[in-house]
Amino acid sequence: MGPFSSSVATVVASVLCLVLNAALLCSGGTTSSFVRKTEKSIDMPLDSDVFAEPPGYNAPQQVHITQGDHLGKAVIVSWITMAEPGSNTVVYWSGNSNIKLEEEGSVVTYKYYNYASGYIHHCTIRHLEFDTKYYYQVGSADVRRTFWFVTPPPVGPDVPYTFGLIGDLGQTYDSNKTLTHYELNPAKGKTVLFVGDLSYADNYPNHDNVRWDTWGRFVERSAAYQPWIWTTGNHELDFAPEIGEFEPFKPFTHRYPVPFRASDSTAPFWYSIKRASAYIIVLASYSAYGTYTPQYEWLLRELPKVNRTETPWLIVLVHSPWYNSYNYHYMEGETMRVMFEPWFVNHKVDVVFAGHVHAYERSERVSNIAYDIVNHKCSPVKDQDAPVYITIGDGGNIEGLANNMTEPQPSYSAYREASFGHASFDIKNRTHAYYSWHRNQDGYAVKADSMWFFNRYWNSVDESST
């Protein structure tokens, strides 16, 4: 074949690829007809009641918990004292026992530009009983605060459990609506899967870390009573060489510990836990994930460890979405998708939750793993071994709503809506889970989008919405 013929063939193939893509784009799912009132998202002022410091000298504040091991029999308790270190001890006891136990924690501090943190305490309580209510106290004898949590049931294939989903929350009036609706949702989420972007302190001059403190006090009303499973987003980077801050994730890593070593991870940005009937893998969009990097090597080893006869539901959390039909952050997750999507299909991941885009979207089960540069197979296709991809970056933060969508709606997009809200993922047994997304403008019980999930390992039937 001569040079001219070769060029013609290349052009024809390229045009064919574009035609195939166009065909894919012409048969999308549902774009919600709901139109949210256009209004600016405004951070609540520093004197808002949700930011109020607890009474008493050096009273513990910003109390939050997360899972402290791989199985769910440990909890990491974190809190901050502002005036002096005070006590590092957590006093705790079972709801059906009067015997009080104690665990000693540690304290850290950090400085960021012209900000100096309070005394940040972390304490891991181990050897807890499954499915048990525990009370715990933090603080010194004269100013103690009491909270409680419930440990998960034992890990097992048919254990029901309900997760809440929140992302890109921030601390605006809309953020407060999101958290309130989650708290009042009758689905009663027991653990929050948080897909990144916490405080948005980096939106303030010099990344004003006072807004990390206000955010910690804001979410305490939930995060002190049930574990929040943390994913890092771009707003946790806090990399600001222009003000002399060269350490990425400095505020986040000092304030929000995770049990990464329990899953043989080498960094707190990617890790896994088991909880009830779910195996949850947390990935880091803003840490290296190319071939041979620590995150790549960890995930390569981690996925084969998942025993679907023990934890049938395989859930992945990541910040930057892989399938996104909004014109915000479009294709920012593409390189990670190219690296890891074949693995997700091979291991039959059930669902991937992401944030970053400040709106809501749910995909069909699709994959785009056939492309090899020369075969021109460049379009997503229906794939019942693939996950559903859900973007839930709609917590309500100061940057506002993403409301500019690509048109026409691509066929991989099952439902999309430019609104703020939260979601729940209610596992019933090894074969079925019920998912629902709740728009802030609705009463807390109203579902704007929902679907039944059929487990990819145990019940791999087509639950497509089209």
Active site residue 329: yes
**DSSP string across 30-92:** EE-----------BPPTT-GGGPPPSSTT--EEEEEEE-SSSSS-EEEEEEESSS----EEEE
> What is residue 400's three-state secondary structure?
coil
Identity of the residue numbered 323: Y
Question: What's the rounded Cα separation, in Å, for the pair 251 and 233?
Answer: 13
Catalytic residue among 329, 356, 422, 438: 329
Question: What's the rounded Cα separation, in Å, for the pair 67 and 322?
Answer: 27
Identity of the residue numbered 263: S
216 neighbors 253 (Cβ within 8 angstroms): no
End-to-end Cα separation, the chain, in angstroms: 44
Question: What's the rounded Cα separation, in Å, for the pair 286 and 293?
Answer: 13
How many angstroms separate the Cα of 425 from the Cα of each of 166, 189, 278? 11, 8, 11
* Token representation of residue 6: 């070769």
Give the start-end residues of each E strand in 227-365: 228-230, 271-275, 278-282, 313-317, 351-354, 360-363
- Which residue from 139, 148, 141, 120 is spatially nearest to 59, judged by alpha carbons? 139
Question: What's the rounded Cα separation, in Å, for the pair 334 and 261?
Answer: 28
Question: What's the rounded Cα separation, in Å, for the pair 201 and 418?
Answer: 24
Eight-state DSSP code of residue 245 = B
- Which residue from 419, 454, 404 is spatially nearest to 433, judged by alpha carbons? 454
Give the start-end residues of each E strand in 237-295: 271-275, 278-282
71: burial class by Cβ within 10 Å (0-12, 13-18, 19+)? middle
Could you tell me whether strands 191-194 and 161-166 are parallel, antiparallel, or unpaired per DSSP bridges?
Answer: parallel
Give the start-end residues of each E strand in 141-212: 143-150, 161-166, 191-194
> Other C-beta atoms within 10 Å of 288: how many?
11
Residues annotated catalytic, as ranges: 329
